[in-house]
Amino acid sequence: MDTTALREQWLHAIEKAADAAALAELDTRLFGAKGEVVELVRSVTTLPKEERPAFGKAANVLKQEVEQALAARREAFAAAALAQELAASDFDPTEPGPRVRRGALHPITIVQNELVDLFTSMGFQWQDGPEVESEYFNFDALNIPGDHPARESQDTFWLREQSGLGRNLLRTHTSPVQVRTMQRLTKHGFQPPLKVIVPGRCFRSETVDKSHEHTFYQMEGLVVDRVQRDGHGGDRGVSIANLIHTMKTCLRVILERDVQVRLRPGFFPFVEPGFELDVNCPFCSGKGCSVCKQSGWIEILPCGMVHPNVLRQGGIDPEEHTGFAFGMGLQRVVMLRYGIDDIRQFMGGDQRFLQQFPEVPR
């Protein structure tokens, strides 16, 4: 049987289909339940045996050809429809899409990362401690007696639970990790050297204003080592000189400039002597401005030599060891570094504030 005529007829019909609907109708006519192409292929069974192979093959080739022609025409209609739609609308497929910000690190995180990087390069280890702390570690172990004003309820968030270590509270500073760290070391019979930093979140029941927050970040530092004695009174141990050098290095890196520092006496029960370390004002280079209240200096870092009682609480013999400690208020450093004048920005969650910091790189 010759299929040439059918082929001509079908391909012509596909070519002539006026639109997608007409083409769909044609599709049913050819390939539906009793479709013409289907019937042609099926008719092979009515032929004498010897004619079947040749016919079957020809019918199948034709079927495929018609299917392809249908599909090609269908696509052409679809493309034309889309082009028409695009022409009618003002959608511009070449216009760049909205820019998606990847987000930025919080400024406290940026500065904390830099500090951790610096201190670990100096051989310090990063220690962590709990935010829910006991009265013992937060106060007693740090030589803060029971009647110290810092314990009063207007400063400390007290919790209901209690343990063998006293009432629970939200830690008011990172200093409790000093004693935790020393105990962790000495528990198994080890003794210093010891160099740790403790970045962490602290809480105080403060009235919030431009420079006070109930939730804030500190970074504690603690260095303790054995005193080396030469037998002639030439003792060498961790000293105030070491403290000053470490603090100067730290401020130089974080404030990205050369700094001058000065020490004033400061009272903290867990250090003796205790200091307030000031840095020369970055805004007026020491000439006096509103930020430094015309003094040329900015109070930045409380610190001191670890009190013997605190070493004892940590299981360390104060006759044989000395150490220094510091407690940096991270917000304060970040405010100086970026010129931020309101501490409430940090926790406020205002996107316009946060978007000023560099995007996290890909």
Binding site for ligand DAH (CB under 6 A): 173, 175, 220, 268, 271, 274, 302-304, 325-327
Torsion of CA 335, 302, 252, 178, to 10 degrees: -110
Under DSSP, the state recorded for 357 is S
Q: Which is nearer to ligand DAH, 66 or 271 (CB)?
A: 271
**Which stretches of 51-99 are DSSP H helices?**
52-88
Shortest spacing between CB 164 and ligand DAH, in angstroms: 24
Closest CA to 340 of 179, 90, 111, 117: 111
Measured distance CA(246)–CA(225) in Å, rounded: 15
Closest CB to ligand DAH among 26 and 144?
144
Nearest to residue 198, comparing CAs of 222, 184, 175, 219?
219
- To ligand DAH, the closest distance from the beta carbon of 200 in angstroms equals 11
Instruction: Identify which of residues 17 and 322 has a Cβ nearer to ligand DAH in the complex.
Output: 322
State the nearest-atom distance from the C-beta of 326 to ligand DAH, in Å.
5
Q: For ligand DAH, which is the closer residue by CB, 182 or 271? A: 271
From CA 355, how far away is CA 351, in angstroms rounded? Answer: 6
Q: Smallest Cα–Cα separation from 237: which of 303, 305, 328?
A: 305
Quick one: 226 exposed, middle or buried, by C-beta within 10 A (0-12, 13-18, 19+)? middle
User: Please, which residue, 199 or 302, has the CB nearer to ligand DAH?
Assistant: 302
- The distance of closest approach from Cβ of residue 284 to ligand DAH in the complex, given in angstroms and rounded to an integer, is 26
In the chain, the N- to C-terminal Cα span, in Å, equals 68
What tokens does 65 get?
């050809």
| Closest to 169 measured CA to CA, from 182, 183, 179, 155 | 155
CB of 230 to ligand DAH, least distance (A): 28
Q: How many H-runs (helices) and E-runs (strands) does the chain carry?
A: 12, 10
26 φ, ψ (degrees, to nearest 5): -60, -40
Cβ at position 353, least distance to ligand DAH in Å: 25
At residue 292, φ and ψ (nearest 5 deg) are -95, 10
Question: Closer CB to ligand DAH, residue 173 or residue 321?
Answer: 173
Q: What residue is closest to ligand DAH based on CB? A: 327
